[in-house]
Chain A
Amino acid sequence: MTFRGAIAVLATLASQLLLAVRTNAQEYRGWATTSVQVVELRPIGLDTVARSDVLTDSQGRFFYQGYEVSCTQATSCTGYLPMDDEATVAATQDLNLTYWGLGVEGLSLTALARVRLRAGTDLVWPRSDDEFDALLAYAQYQRGPLRLRGGRQDVRSGLGLSAFDGLTASYAYGSARAEVYGGRSLARGLREPANEALRGLDDFYLDHSVLLLGASASLRTLGVLATARYHREILWDRSSLVSERASLDFSTVLTRVRVTGSADYDFSFQHVGKAQLTVSAPLEDGRWLVELSGRRYVPYFDLSTIWGFFEPVSYSEVLARVGWSPNRTLGAWVSGGRRYYGDTGAPVIIQPMKDNGWRADVGARWAPLPAWTLNGSYQLEWGPGGFLSSVDASVRYAVNDRLGASLSALSFQQIEEYRLGQGRAFGMGASGDFRWNDRMSLMGGFSILRHRDGGNVFTSPWNQARGWTSVRFDVGEDPGLANRERRR
């Protein structure tokens, strides 16, 4: 751990201790969560084996201990094979605080910081080597219809999550609201300037910060809630456009039938991006819920990479969902969707790849007794390059309203991107959760996966063991987070 990381850890733990002690705060609210996860799994690696140890099947394919390998040499073959087990411990410490009552009415400060630690073998859990992140850190001034916000913040919209260091100003006038924002753009999912976070990933990557400018307008009229947004990113030196997009999202309820829709347009590549329209109708006093969706998906890449210039195609999907919940103790759902990919225009060699896929899942929840809840679900997904058949079952026992425990089991079979899947994985797990009081809760659990390849050989990449625990402290009234009933 670096000195910076150590200081961050100490500061965060001290703050968490403060939160645990100061439980009657009137002018600040927050939470602190300590999460630890232990993972043991088995990576695969490109390895070389002796040709004499390789078997050839009737189709002329080569297999080493059940794994397909490539034999282009007379004496050796190569292929991806299971390596030794590795284990890692990844921990995160999140601290969220919002202060207000700073002497200026409407002024508040918000921060969400994360400290990461790792231990174990050389296996690095994603992001666990990034010791400190300030996920949010902004000052906000809100008076009447005006809201000003400055600092590290993010915008969640039909264009996804965009984080930036900058300023936001929004103004509400009746049922309308307008917002403008701008600042230094942060890399998606990384909360760091793109040119720093992605440095070294590729030789030609960004060498300048990215300037983000955006605006949105929301309107609620005639029962329709709609938001339009425009979003533009350019390099700090203005030498190049990084992205330019717009989105429109809306929601309305027509005699209890909810209709939601969204669409975005990518000016950079001049095409419609993602879009969807969903009609959701509750029937028989809400005991049934029927949902129909049509959606279009195309991956978004900005102009800082070459990926977008490879012209990915979209797929269109129709999706139907039906939920049934006759009472609070019983619920079931089933859904199914079919998607079609656009014409890739790529040359067809030997045989064309699938250009469609479908998915379905069915599940149920039943609480035969107040303390017992049973859950079961089955998911099937079958598309080009991927397949999943997975079943889950779990039972939860609530000892009381503060203590609960669950047992779970699962089994699945899958193939990954154009890679042969073999065998089936079985797993089981247990977890528990305990709420000490309104301020503190604890949860933890473990799960084990074992791969069975038909020959009863328990060696494969799907052998995994995971354990996790988390402790959370809450301070101050925070109804949105808890979403639980509160009575005075």
Chain B
Amino acid sequence: MSAPARWTVAIVVVAVAALGGLAASAYAQEVQFPHETHQGLFPLCTGCHEGVPTGDRSTFYPDPTTCRGCHNGVLEVTVTWNGPTQRVDNLSFSHNQHVDALDAAGDAALQCGSCHIPPGGGRMAVSDEIQLDTCFGCHAHEASSHQVDARCETCHVPLARTAFDRARIESIPEPSDHEVATFLSSDHGRLVQTDANRCATCHTRERCVSCHVDANRDVIASFPAAPPGMELPPAVAHYYEPTTHLEGQWLTLHGAEASRQDCATCHTSNDCLTCHVEPAPDAVAAMPSRADVVAPGVEVVAQAPQSHESAFFMQAHTVLAAAGDATCSTCHQEAFCVTCHDGPVGGGYHPRDFLARHTADAFGRDTECSNCHNTQVFCRECHAELGLVSRGRLGPGYHDDGPVWLLRHGQAARQNLESCASCHRQVDCTQCHGVLGAFKVSPHGVDFDAERAWARSPRTCLACHVGNPLNE
């Protein structure tokens, strides 16, 4: 071996031995070994840390009996140094991998002291603090911050693979980007998509599912989970209302955008079913169920649409229902409508004692009676029971508000024909208005299109006419 080669090997060995300090720092030393005191005795790091270049952990540190060769009470005072016990950490540094890599690269620049000796320190001024800048000299050329820009997994294993206790976990410093106002609401989602390993350095899956309802999402499902027995700090769920939810029509429009991907961060299917009636839309069925979820989620309280808050909603809902078509069925089944429209006896649609004073309402038709009631049957049936029914002949009348009612009734009939039909049968009219009736008074207006009527429904014409009225 030539002299330069020997120097190269020596430097590499020294460098590797120095890096061994990284590993050494993973050991808690009950008594800090005074390296500088012994600098005259140990020209090479590998003299004591033989296993560092090879990865043999059993020889990372010298055998304490070696110390007693001098510290035997005769030559030197006895010492109790027994070597460090392995410290719990989350480092993934491999000295022997670096040895191999450096060896292959012929890189002689890196020595043990590069990492283990502070700048300006002597050859044996070994410190417990790792000189991280040395690491970034190769691993993160553009890193501006240890905790933000560096790739954590280069040096650290995921938290789930450590033996950290709760106190140690709580002591992990929080990266500065976590303090950004939008970090929880939006930023962290993008970060975890691009660099989940970074998140996993300090978090386990349990942290994700403490907020995220949807634990089956790919990025969460693949996140390392805490090992059995690991005590995690209590996680507080934070939820932020997306800006979309603040839009005025959100309640009405959210269905078009609903998906497990977008909604299950905060909501379960139970939240959907707070309003949606079963069987619910597919998007609801795809949502996770509350029974399967750890996170508290955002509770949804059934809330009527804004339109329902109107004092006049009862009057207005007809058109809203007709225009919305399927919108009502989000919360209501058809049976709900029936409870009022076509409701049971004593149903709640009409106000109390409506029956006694429904005449004006029926006459004014603010609401259309025939939407629920068959006026020819329902109304007439009741009116007949009460005596308000024609006997099929002309006679002294019920309509006593004015003289010669019969001669004046045409105007009233055309204004409120539904009211007529709620007591009278058609034959009451045809006895005068039919071609075979007593007076043969045509009920049709001047613009009546007899030809069209005959073409569309000849059988109705025959109620009053003997044959085709066009031939009469």
Q: List 28 A-B contacts (CB under 8 A).
A: A78-B395, A79-B400, A92-B345, A94-B339, A94-B344, A96-B338, A126-B381, A127-B378, A153-B334, A197-B377, A225-B323, A227-B323, A253-B249, A260-B316, A291-B310, A301-B417, A309-B444, A309-B448, A346-B410, A383-B363, A412-B356, A414-B360, A417-B412, A431-B352, A449-B353, A477-B273, A481-B332, A487-B301
Residues of A within 8 A of B277 (CB): 29, 98, 478-480
Q: How far is the CA of A201 from the CA of B463 in the complex (A)?
A: 13
Query: Is A157 engaged at the interface, CB distance under 8 Å to the other chain?
Result: yes
Residues of A within 8 A of B361 (CB): 381, 388
Q: Which residue of B lies closest to A347 (CB)?
A: B410
Query: Is A370 engaged at the interface, CB distance under 8 Å to the other chain?
Result: no
Q: Which residue of B lies closest to A44 (CB)?
A: B387
Which 5 pairs of residues, A with B, have the shortest CB-CB distance?
A70-B396, A346-B410, A388-B360, A323-B311, A480-B331
Q: Of B342, B391, B396, B460, which is within 8 A of A79 by CB?
A: B396
Query: Is A12 engaged at the interface, CB distance under 8 Å to the other chain?
Result: no
Known contacts A479-B274, A483-B302, then 17 further A-B pairs from the complex at CB < 8 Å, ordered by chain A residue: A70-B395, A77-B396, A126-B382, A203-B427, A225-B323, A225-B327, A227-B322, A240-B457, A240-B459, A249-B322, A268-B456, A286-B309, A299-B416, A299-B417, A392-B351, A418-B400, A429-B352
Chain B, interface size category, equals 35 or more
B407 touches A417 (CB 8 A): no
Q: Of A177, A286, A392, A488, which is within 8 A of B290 by CB?
A: A488
Residues of B within 8 A of A156 (CB): 321-322, 334, 337, 341
Q: How far is the CA of A136 from the CA of B361 in the complex (A)?
A: 29
A177 touches B381 (CB 8 A): no
> If A299-B418, A359-B366 touch, does A157 touch B322 (CB 8 Å cutoff)?
yes
Residues of B within 8 A of A135 (CB): 335, 338, 342
B416 touches A270 (CB 8 A): no
> If A349-B404, A485-B301 touch, does A260 touch B378 (CB 8 Å cutoff)?
no
Residues of A within 8 A of B430 (CB): 306
Residues of B within 8 A of A4 (CB): none
A323 touches B310 (CB 8 A): yes
A310 touches B413 (CB 8 A): yes
Report A377-421 CB contacts with B as 1/0, cut-off 8 Å.
000010111111010100000000000000010101011111110
Q: How far is the CA of A260 from the CA of B341 in the complex (A)?
A: 21
Near B by CB (< 8 A), chain A positions 39-61 give 41, 43-46
A429 touches B353 (CB 8 A): yes
Q: How far is the CA of A262 from the CA of B376 in the complex (A)?
A: 26
Q: Of B415, B417, B459, which is within 8 A of A384 by CB?
A: B415
B345 touches A35 (CB 8 A): yes
Question: Which has the most chain A C-beta neighbours within 10 Å: B319, B352, B415, B429?
Answer: B415
Number of interface residues of A (CB under 8 A): 180
Q: How far is the CA of A461 from the CA of B374 in the complex (A)?
A: 24
B345 touches A240 (CB 8 A): no
> If A270-B452, A419-B401 touch, does A313 touch B386 (CB 8 Å cutoff)?
no
B344 touches A114 (CB 8 A): yes
B336 touches A480 (CB 8 A): yes
Residues of B within 8 A of A98 (CB): 277-279, 333, 335
Residues of B within 8 A of A274 (CB): 368
Q: Of A70, A108, A128, A484, which is within 8 A of B397 by CB?
A: A70
Q: Which residue of B lies closest to A80 (CB)?
A: B398
Q: How distant is A130 from chain B, measured CB to nearest CB, in Å?
A: 10
Residues of A within 8 A of B359 (CB): 386, 388, 414-417
Q: How distant is B292 from chain A, measured CB to nearest CB, in Å?
A: 14
> If A189-B373, A390-B357 touch, does A242 touch B290 (CB 8 Å cutoff)?
no
Query: Is B2 engaged at the interface, CB distance under 8 Å to the other chain?
Result: no
Query: Is B411 engaged at the interface, CB distance under 8 Å to the other chain?
Result: yes
Residues of B within 8 A of A242 (CB): 457
Question: Which has the most chain B C-beta neighbours within 10 Å: A177, A282, A345, A420?
Answer: A345
Report A233-274 CB contacts with B as 1/0, cut-off 8 Å.
000000111100001011101001010111000001010001
> If A311-B443, A479-B275 touch, does A83 touch B387 (CB 8 Å cutoff)?
yes
B325 touches A68 (CB 8 A): no
Query: Is B326 engaged at the interface, CB distance under 8 Å to the other chain?
Result: yes
Q: How distant is A327 from chain B, measured CB to nearest CB, in Å?
A: 14
B387 touches A414 (CB 8 A): no
A100 touches B278 (CB 8 A): yes
Chain B residues in the interface with A (C-beta under 8 A): 248-249, 253, 256, 270, 273-279, 281-282, 285, 290, 299, 301-302, 304, 307, 309-312, 315-316, 318-327, 330-339, 341-342, 344-347, 351-353, 355-357, 359-361, 363-366, 368, 370-379, 381-382, 385-388, 391, 395-405, 407-408, 410-421, 425-427, 429-430, 443-446, 448-449, 452-453, 456-460, 462-464
A415 touches B401 (CB 8 A): yes
> If A92-B344, A461-B386 touch, does A385 touch B363 (CB 8 Å cutoff)?
yes
Q: How far is the CA of A303 from the CA of B460 in the complex (A)?
A: 7
Q: How far is the CA of A274 from the CA of B318 in the complex (A)?
A: 12
Residues of B within 8 A of A486 (CB): 274, 301-302
Residues of B within 8 A of A143 (CB): 282
> If A383-B360, A418-B402 touch, does A427 touch B353 (CB 8 Å cutoff)?
yes
> If A202-B425, A353-B415 touch, does A136 touch B338 (CB 8 Å cutoff)?
yes
A310 touches B417 (CB 8 A): yes
Q: How far is the CA of A289 from the CA of B456 in the complex (A)?
A: 46
Q: How distant is B467 from chain A, measured CB to nearest CB, in Å?
A: 14
Near B by CB (< 8 A), chain A positions 11-56 give 29, 31, 33, 35-37, 41, 43-46
Query: Is A148 engaged at the interface, CB distance under 8 Å to the other chain?
Result: no
Residues of B within 8 A of A297 (CB): 365, 368
A306 touches B412 (CB 8 A): no
Residues of B within 8 A of A44 (CB): 386-388
Q: How distant is A316 from chain B, measured CB to nearest CB, in Å?
A: 12
Residues of B within 8 A of A449 (CB): 353, 356
